[in-house]
Structure 1
Amino acid sequence: MNPAARPALPYLAGYPEALRQQVQGLIDRNELAAHLHKRYPQRHQVRTDAALYDYTQALKSEFLRQSPPLAKVIYAARLHVIHNALGTHTTVARVQGGQLKAKREIRISAMFRDTPPEFLKMIVVHELAHIKEREHNKAFYALCQHMEPDYHQFEFDLRLHLTLQELKSTEPAAD
């Protein structure tokens, strides 16, 4: 591929140039999809909002027992990865009987309904970590790694997956 015609790698912007060049090599040789499929051949079975809630609650119960309860965990069709994040965590404050009540919600982009289980776990772990740590700091990433020791590898590979999805969406249609 002509270097000038190469797509930008926005999901890998924070990674070292040498690593981005390796990824670009996979793209140029049309090997990125095969590389990811070899590493992650399975797709998770968490298809419904109810199943996603149960899945998230199980992880929360294992690692964050003392944290506030989750009111809602859903796949959000309107959550676009390119414009927002992989998922969101919110605290909805409501006044109820003179008291301020907070409900915590997690929304995961619906595009992750059909991804490897490792990617779903990485996203859920990330959003759960925000219950205790609001900022993306050392403590936040330490908590993510506590819940999923391979967190950083899964995050990188998920970024490769997103890059592949973006490349597919910009390919010209076959005649």
Structure 2
Amino acid sequence: MQKLKYLQGYPSSITDQVANLIDSNQLEAFLLKKYPRCHELTTEKALYDYVQEIKSQYLKKSPPVSKVVYDKKIHVINHALGLHSFVSRVQGNKLKAKHEIRISSIFKHAPLPFLRMIIVHELAHLREKEHNKAFYQLCCHMEPDYHQLEFDMRLFLTQQELSGPIYS
């Protein structure tokens, strides 16, 4: 059986099922049946507006997000799918803080639920810096299917690594 790097930490009963899907060339069909379409948020303006919509619904009192972009380098360099960065700058006698969200460009051509799951994850960092119980509770509050979407997104990444992009 091949190494399933995106599924490390999952029990063998789960990884065995995934390996069977891969061995029988059914993983892509499984994903396409569950997530038949790619989203249409291909511009950074549309992405920013979508993030602001989610933020205004769930995190009204959190600090503003000044920038949201797709980043081609994020997956390779940081071994991450999204990044929340907090930038502080001194302007005169004031300290200005900006929050930026960078989403891996892999999600430019992915199903909307996967993009939403990554956005929810990064927005949750506005309130909770660490990946702790409160962080995941907030993620589940914003996206009730958060954990299932995270698992399915790992399947998506596995399939992409095996045979390239599913959606284009």
1:82 & 1:8 partners in 2: Cα distance? 21
Residue identity matched to 1:101: K
Deviation at 1:81?
A: 5.4
Instruction: Choose 1 or 2 for highest CA Rg.
Output: 1
Deviation at 1:111?
A: 1.2
Q: TM-score, normalised by structure 1?
A: 0.91
Provide the residue aligned with 2:97 in structure 1.
102
Residue identity matched to 2:35: Y
Question: RMSD between aligned alpha carbons?
Answer: 1.1
1:121 & 1:158 partners in 2: Cα distance? 11
% identical equivalent positions: 59
Residue identity matched to 1:69: P
1:70 is aligned to 2:59: no
Q: Taking structure 1 as reference, are residues 81 and 115 closer, same or farther at Cα in structure 2, changes over 3 Å only?
A: farther
Provide the residue aligned with 1:125 in structure 2.
120
Q: How many residues align?
A: 164
Provide the residue aligned with 1:93 in structure 2.
88
Could you list the structure 1 runs, at least 4 aligned residues long, displaced by more than 2 angstroms after superposition.
none
Deviation at 1:7?
A: 2.3
Structure 2 gaps of 5+ residues are none
Structure 1 gaps of 5+ residues are 1-5, 170-175
Q: Taking structure 1 as reference, are residues 82 and 95 closer, same or farther at Cα in structure 2, changes over 3 Å only?
A: closer
1:140 & 1:98 partners in 2: Cα distance? 33
Aligned counterparts, 1:25-174, within 5 A? 25-80=20-75, 83-169=78-164
- Cα displacement string for residues 112-159 of structure 1 (whole angstroms, at most 9, x for unaligned residues): 111101001000000000110111111011000000000101000000
